[in-house]
Structure 1
Amino acid sequence: MNSSRLMTRVAAGAVAAGAAVLMAPGAAGAATERAHWSFEDTGSTAADSSGNGSTGTLKNLTTGVAGSTGKAFEWSSKPSYVTVPDKAVLDPGTSSYSVSLKVKFTVLPSSSVGDYDLIRKGLSTTSGGSWKVEIVKSGQALCNFRGSGGQGQLTKGPKLNDGAWHTITCARTSSKVTLTVDGTSWSTSKSTGKISNSSAVLIGAKDTSGHDQFTGVLDEVVIS
């Protein structure tokens, strides 16, 4: 084999190997995570395992309770929450975006509470839009994305206050908003447009005063 042909084969092999690395499922999956709080922590912070450094700070939470896997955080006293400082990676912008979490509770939101804010970034009046995942008075899950193109919202699925673990995922694409509860999905057609604000992420409450505060246990919160 002449040297030029050998060099061509070596180069082709290197390109193929590089492509295999880029296409590795583990690498691709990791690249899609914007934030991942496993709630295994026992101190005053919640580590972000996505590599983006979005560490949360705990307020009045019980750590180390039994989780869906491993440990989790429990909300009971008021105010209780996890707050995560604003970062561009936590905003949907114009991209597809999803928020997933595991929840366990028995007490429905009272009339004084209104609903449980499981996670949110921004309020309905926040400039630049907002997004949130809630439990409404009926015990059902709610998804809301509000951007430059308007608001997409869904409340669907079973009552979740049975003391069992449930997985809720809220997702939006360029043309629809989808709510998935324990593997069953519902969608509404809506282009919500750009969502980008300077608010912190609040987990388990609407604000640091404890409005719309959750009562129960949360685990494995992932933004992707």
Structure 2
Amino acid sequence: MTVVLAVGIVLLAPAAAADASARRPAALWEMNERPGARTMVDSSGRGLHGRIGSDVHTGTRVRGATGFRFDRVEPDSPPPRPGQLATVRDAGALDPGTRPFAVTVRLRTTHKFGNIIQKGQAAAAGGNYKLQIPGGIVECVFRGSADSLLVSSPRRLNDGRWHTVRCARTGSGLTLTVDGSTVARRSGWTGRIANSWPVSIGGKTDCDQIDVGCDYYAGDLDYVRIDAG
């Protein structure tokens, strides 16, 4: 009996380690920074820390969570306000490439406009991905070398409650999950997505509020997580 147990331990330990490694995110910004903080810490261990703009309210507590608050900015009202954003430098871990890739955010808002998170913009070389909330409906877009795919939540999420939204891109399409339930799917293959842009949370980085709107998000964010297969 002792021999059988010892063999079981040897076989199980590597499997457990491999499973733990598979669950490690590419990036995890928990947004628990104190008020006035200007560095957004990546707790994945990969060191992909971000810069918090001067107009982002950190250390905001609401309905049991601590996160970032983004004030409302009138659409297409110049000048641009880069202080509204949290940004993370370009890194390969933040590009989908051809891998399975997922973006998860926990958000709370009563507004109906803005880009929540993106890497790249509509005409960016190498493609782009983003989550946005026009009309209170969360939309997820992945644009790659082969195609652009979009999925939308069937109901508005700007009800002032916390919602966890996950958008996953695989070789067969996009899947949108809200609060643990799958709410939308779209079949297809986007192709490769890899650009040299930073990750931008709260709106666009390249905009002037005249010809290109900055699409600033208004509301709260509890965390952002990126997973790559």
| Same fold, TM-score > 0.5, yes or no | yes
- Describe the SS at the equivalent of 2:192: coil
**Structure 2 vs 1, CA of residues 68 and 201 (structure 1 numbering), >3 Å: closer, same or farther?**
farther
C-alpha displacement of 1:11: 9.5
Task: Extract structure 1 runs of 4+ deviating beyond 3 A.
Answer: 8-15, 67-70
TM-score (structure 1 length as normaliser):
0.84
User: C-alpha distance in 2, partners of 1:216/1:208?
Assistant: 21
> Aligned residue for 2:100?
96
- Residues 171 and 177 of structure 1 are in contact (CA less than 8 Å); yes or no, is this contact kept in structure 2? yes
User: C-alpha distance in 2, partners of 1:11/1:168?
Assistant: 43
C-alpha displacement of 1:143: 0.5
- Residues 157 and 181 of structure 1 are in contact (CA less than 8 Å); yes or no, is this contact kept in structure 2? no
Letter in 2 for 1:122: G
- Describe the SS at the equivalent of 2:23: helix
> Which of 69, 94, 109 lines up with 1:105 in the alignment?
109
Alignment of 1:121-140 (within 5 A): 121-136=119-134, 138-140=135-137
User: C-alpha distance in 2, partners of 1:131/1:61?
Assistant: 22
Alignment of 1:209-220 (within 5 A): 211-220=214-223
C-alpha displacement of 1:208: 6.0
Unpaired runs of at least 5, structure 2: 74-80
> Which of 67, 72, 91 lines up with 1:72 in the alignment?
67
User: C-alpha distance in 2, partners of 1:9/1:161?
Assistant: 56
- Describe the SS at the equivalent of 2:126: coil
Q: Deviations over 1:184-204 (max 9, x none)?
A: 321011100110111000001
> Aligned residue for 1:164?
161
> Aligned residue for 2:176?
179
C-alpha displacement of 1:144: 0.4
- Residues 175 and 182 of structure 2 are in contact (CA less than 8 Å); yes or no, is this contact kept in structure 1? no
> Aligned residue for 2:30?
38
Q: Percent identity?
A: 36
> Aligned residue for 1:29?
23
> Aligned residue for 2:77?
none
CA RMSD of aligned residues (A): 2.3
> Aligned residue for 2:45?
51
- Describe the SS at the equivalent of 1:89: helix
Q: Which has the larger radius of gyration?
A: 1
TM-score (structure 2 length as normaliser):
0.83
Aligned residues between the structures: 208
User: C-alpha distance in 2, partners of 1:41/1:11?
Assistant: 45
Q: Deviations over 1:101-132 (max 9, x none)?
A: 011111222xxxxxx11000001111111100
Letter in 2 for 1:104: R
Q: Does 1:189 align with 2:187?
A: yes
C-alpha displacement of 1:158: 1.2
